[in-house]
């Protein structure tokens, strides 16, 4: 493969999360408020090591760059087998997927993977679709900074 094509492919992959982030339809400010429920388990730390949100909890994965990323993309985090299967399939955290997952993790994983025995390990559920959409917008906005 020529160097030109490799560079073009790399540029496309690097820009993909930003493209998905632009598709976020929710209210990022409302999502920031809603994220207060998530900080017991999650943190948002950028590549420079700056904590953008959360309290350095390690129960759940770092959510930096989650919008538009491949599911279960954080290295060295121990994901459930169901999320690992979705990662291997190249499933992306679109707004639609994220919203479905945070409202009912096990049901989402079972439907998306086609494995009726798959389970999610996230115990908390976001109560409303609007709140889930706002959370996605907030997380997308952090990656765009």
pLDDT digits (tens, 9 = 90+) for 46-92: 999 999 999 878 799 999 999 999 999 999 999 999 999 999 999 99
Residue 41 has pLDDT above 80, yes or no: yes
Range of the domain at 21: 3-144
Total domain count, the chain: 1
Which of 10-14, 23-27, 128-132 is least confident? 10-14
**Positions of E strands within 7-121:** 43-45, 51-54
Q: Which of 26, 19, 138 is nearest to 69 (CA)?
A: 19
pLDDT band at 105 (very low <50, low <70, confident <90, very high): very high
Residue 14 has pLDDT above 70, yes or no: no
What is the residue-wise DSSP string for 21-49? HHT--S-HHHHHHHGGGTTTT-EEE-TTS
Residue 56's pLDDT is what?
75
Residue 130's pLDDT is what?
98
* CATH code assigned at 118: 1.10.760.10
């Amino acid at each position: 493969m020529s160097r030109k094509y490799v560079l073009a492919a790399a540029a496309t992959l690097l820009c993909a999360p930003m493209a998905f982030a632009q598709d976020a339809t929710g209210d990022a400010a409302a999502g920031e408020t809603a994220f207060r429920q998530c900080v017991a388990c999650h943190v948002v730390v950028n590549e420079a090591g700056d904590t953008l949100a959360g309290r350095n909890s390690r129960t759940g994965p770092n959510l930096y760059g989650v919008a538009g990323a491949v599911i279960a993309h954080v290295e060295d985090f121990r994901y459930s087998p169901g999320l690992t299967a979705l990662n291997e399939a190249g499933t992306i955290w679109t707004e639609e997927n994220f919203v479905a997952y945070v409202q009912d993790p096990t049901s989402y994983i079972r439907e998306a993977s086609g494995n009726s025995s798959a389970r999610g390990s996230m115990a908390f559920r976001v109560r409303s679709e609007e709140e889930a959409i706002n959370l996605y917008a907030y997380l997308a906005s952090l990656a765009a900074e």
